[in-house]
Amino acid sequence: MTLIARLVSVLVLLGAWQVAAAQAGSRLLPAPLAVAEFIAQEAARGDLFHNVGITLLRVAISFALAMGLGVLLGVALGRIRALDAVLDTPLLVLLNTPALVITVLAYIWVGLTESAAILAVVLNKLPNVAVIMREGARELDPNLQEMARTYRFDRRTWIAHVLVPQLQPYAVAAARSGLSLAWKIVLVIELLGRPDGVGFAINFYFVQSTNVAAILGYSIVFMSVMIAVDILVLQRIQAHVRRRR
């Protein structure tokens, strides 16, 4: 999608929002200008940058851990049939366990700590990464495998020139889907048991005053950051991987 098309879609969305706000009333759906004013006020106080920064840090740490562990586990499952047979059912259970349940259990087992919050995100995200990478490991080209054996590639060369290039598209796909899932889970975790962050702020304004402008303001800012990361980082990496193939 071109930049002009994106701008047009945003303007159409803002126009529809303005019309809906005029019909619903400011209490139920504040106008875009009212939300923008709240964002400016929150930024001037510094609360916006603090809460968004804390949430981004939690997303980054948990996402990196889930991706690293998920890639290793997924490749192992795709290459070792016995391990896949043993862990397939536990993975299926984790995939179908609601994020809310895992979050609550993590807080019960570990306590209302930062470690519990990170653990909850990793447990929610890791199975998705592992399943995607398992499929990638199963689809490795046997001709390239045979070539590596013929030329007697050592393990390091095999990983760098045979394994990694074939798994890159799967890793990028796992990263894009995983990031969109990770930040949503982080917000739920913050809402349930953290003293700061975007999820905490949304819960605070909901409980204290049902401030819809505040809820929309924090949501829009954080969604904008995540969309920017996807467009400017992950999509570019994905395009680079496709060109290399």
All structural domains of the chain: 32-244 (1.10.3720.10)
Nearest to 199 by CA among 51, 57, 53, 48: 51
pLDDT tens-digit series, residues 194-226: 889 999 999 999 988 889 999 999 999 999 998
Q: What does the pLDDT average to over 107-125?
A: 90
In this prediction, residue 69 has a pLDDT band, given cuts at 50, 70 and 90, of: very high
Q: What angle do CA 127, 59, 90 make, to 5 degrees?
A: 15
How many whole angstroms separate alpha carbon 62 and alpha carbon 84? 24
186 vs 55: CA distance, rounded Å:
7
Distance CA 132, CA 181 (A): 14
Q: What integer best gives the mean pLDDT of the chain? A: 89
Q: Say if residue 174's pLDDT is above 80.
A: yes
**Predicted TM-score of the model (pTM):** 0.84
